[in-house]
Amino acid sequence: MSLVTPKAYSNLVKKGILETGKNCWRICNIEQLSLLLDSQNYYQAFLECSQKAGQSLHIAGWEIDARMLVDPLNKNPNLSFRHYLNQISDKVVDIHLLSWKAPFYLRFGRERFAGLKWKLNSSSKVKFTHNRYPYCFGSYHEKVAIIDQKCAFLGGIDLAKMRWDTTCHDGNDDRRRDWNGKRYNPIHDLQFVLTGSIINDIAEFIQKRSDKNLFFTQQSPSLTAPVWPDSFSPEIHKIKGAISRTDAEEGIFEIEDLYVDAIRSAELFILIENQYFSHHGIIKELALQLKRDNGPEIVIILPVNYRGKFERSIYLTQRNRAIKVLKEADRYGRLKFYYPENASPKNFIVVHSKYMVVDNSFMTLGSANLNYRSMRVDREINLGLDGQNKEKIQRFIADSVSRIMADHLGINEKEFAYVFMKNKSLIQTIETLRNRNTKTLNEIHYTHIPLPIWLLNFLYPIVDIKLAVPKKNLYLFLIGLLFLILIAAKVINGTY
């Protein structure tokens, strides 16, 4: 049971945040739900569930890499994802993989001729689909796996390269290597595992990603036993959860509205953990909360750095801007930016999660980053839990805060929960407990960006694109532009 109970922390009674048709699509039934910290736990849970599959296994991701090592900790550490699916295909009727087909300038590091290799080297039951995104510079960004239409995973983790890590995030962990033996940075992320009729709704949304009928829209008959990972107990039972989406094709921007509405509702604290932080509208809403006399504390956890030069240039510049805007608005000292570290600054921890909690009474987790492309262009799915006047949901949300913060600080979650309950201040609790271990949270300040990297900011409009432009419109524009250039050339040469 959580030490940070709703009554111990807050006696607030306010209107719920979720509103269908505005900031969420549907409010659905969840039978069981747990939060998995980092991909070691997710991959273990996925392996345990997929081995129980008898009817179907459906996966939709930003990337699905056949070469990914399934689990460096198991008895066969060199087992690739393709070989694993071939092994379980003997008992699974259908295995469908749906991966975004990246444009040529983003294919570096992705498996070449992936579709052909999946077809030639996989069981006939394994069907791989590469689908292009219909909008310029956008992507299919959801991260979903559904087993037998009875158990699903949803969050920020792809079944792809450079994702596996333990909760220790040891910078020197030699097991954290890609399929080619190359080491990569520690990475922190989160994923839900859940059961219930909500799976039908998740499948219905994902199915629209493909012209082919790859995902079921109705739950299959109960031909197999219930599916749940043996190593993880359900943390909460029989609740409601809301699906929020970004779908430019349908003009749906529910996740953006969800963040704005949740931030505006805050009275005590806002905890944000995200890979990026460049959405000016959300930054503005946070600034308005900081200017309130009795507004909430705001804690924002981001990576201290980024792996690619484009990312460093654009998102460090945008982070500097956000820090400046929010610190100017922070009249009462209620703001902190942190990054997780584990005694290895060079091998910094990549924060890849997309998580927010407000007042221990609202939580959202999914695939959407806090940038414009996730809110306006890419296709995304988030799950929201509204605990207003629902004590067991509030307790689950409070426990998630304690678990994640304790994990970052390298302490026991009960210790964090106790200090949090005593202080009734998230910032004061973090400041009290940080720097006790090599694994900790450190403050983020303004970051100097070298000029050669800063100059890459000219790519910002297409890296964090704000407007969904259909590719066919771009092609028509380019054809028209070429036609005008040809006419202009003829006029200049006097031949027209």
Task: Concatenate the DSSP letters of all residues of 204-216 into one string.
Answer: HHHHTT-SS--S-
What is the C-alpha separation between 96 and 146, in angstroms, rounded? 10
Residue 490, helix vs strand vs coil: helix
How sure is the predictor about 77, in pLDDT bands with cuts at 50, 70 and 90? confident
Pairing of strands 380-386, 362-366: antiparallel
Beta pairing, strands 354-358 & 269-274: antiparallel
pLDDT at 46 over 50: yes
* Residue keyed to tokens 């791989």: 128
Q: Which of 159, 189, 203, 155 is nearest to 384 (CA)?
A: 155
CA distance 171 to 438: 11
Q: Of residues 278 and 473, which shows the higher confidence score?
A: 278
134: which 2 tokens? Answer: 């219909």
Q: Which CATH entry fits the domain spanning 31-237: 3.40.50.720, 3.30.870.10, 3.30.950.10, 1.10.10.10? A: 3.30.870.10
Amino acid 8: pLDDT: 43
Instruction: Say yes or no: do domains 6-17+243-443 and 31-237 share a fold.
Output: yes
Confidence band of 224 (pLDDT split at 50, 70, 90): low
Helical H runs in 434-470? 451-454, 460-463
Q: What percentage of the chain exceeds 90 in pLDDT?
A: 73
| 357 within 8 A of 401, measured Cβ to Cβ | yes
Query: What superfamily would CATH give domain 6-17+243-443?
Result: Endonuclease Chain A (3.30.870.10)
Structure tokens at 77: 């550490």
Cα torsion through 53, 56, 60, 65, rounded to 10: 60
pLDDT band at 313 (very low <50, low <70, confident <90, very high): very high
pLDDT band per the 50, 70, 90 thresholds, residue 116 = very high
pLDDT at 3: 46
Of the pLDDT bands very low, low, confident and very high (cuts 50, 70, 90), residue 222 is: low
The Cα–Cα gap between 396 and 387 comes to: 9
Q: What is the mean pLDDT of residues 459-480?
A: 86
Q: Look up residue 249 and give its amino acid.
A: E
Q: Is 32 helix (H, G, I), strand (E, B) or coil?
A: strand
pLDDT of residue 382 exceeding 50, the answer is: yes
**Phi and psi at residue 34, to the nearest 5°:** -140, 155
* Total Cβ atoms within 10 A of residue 125: 18
User: HSE on the CB side for 147, CA within 13 Å?
Assistant: 27
Average pLDDT, the chain: 91
pLDDT for 405-429, tens place per residue? 999 999 999 999 999 999 999 999 9
Predicted confidence band at 20 (pLDDT cuts at 50, 70, 90)?
very high
Q: Residue 373 carries which DSSP code?
A: I
CB 191 within 8 A of CB 367: no
**Cα 231 to Cα 51: distance, rounded to the nearest angstrom:** 13
User: Rounded to two decimals, what is the model's pTM?
Assistant: 0.92
Quick one: tokens of 231? 């190593």
Provide the residue ranges of all domains of the chain, joining segments of one domain with +: 6-17+243-443, 31-237
The separation between CA 268 and the C-alpha centre of its own chain, rounded to angstroms, equals 24
Residue 272, CA atoms < 13 Å, CB-side half-sphere: 27
Structure tokens at 325: 């805007």
Which of 353, 354, 192 has the alpha carbon at shortest distance from 258? 354
Q: Enumerate residues 6+ apart whose C-beta is below 8 A from 388.
A: 13, 14, 15, 16, 17, 361, 362
* 94-100 vs 56-61, strand pairing mode: parallel
Give dist(CA 145, CA 142) in Å, integer: 10
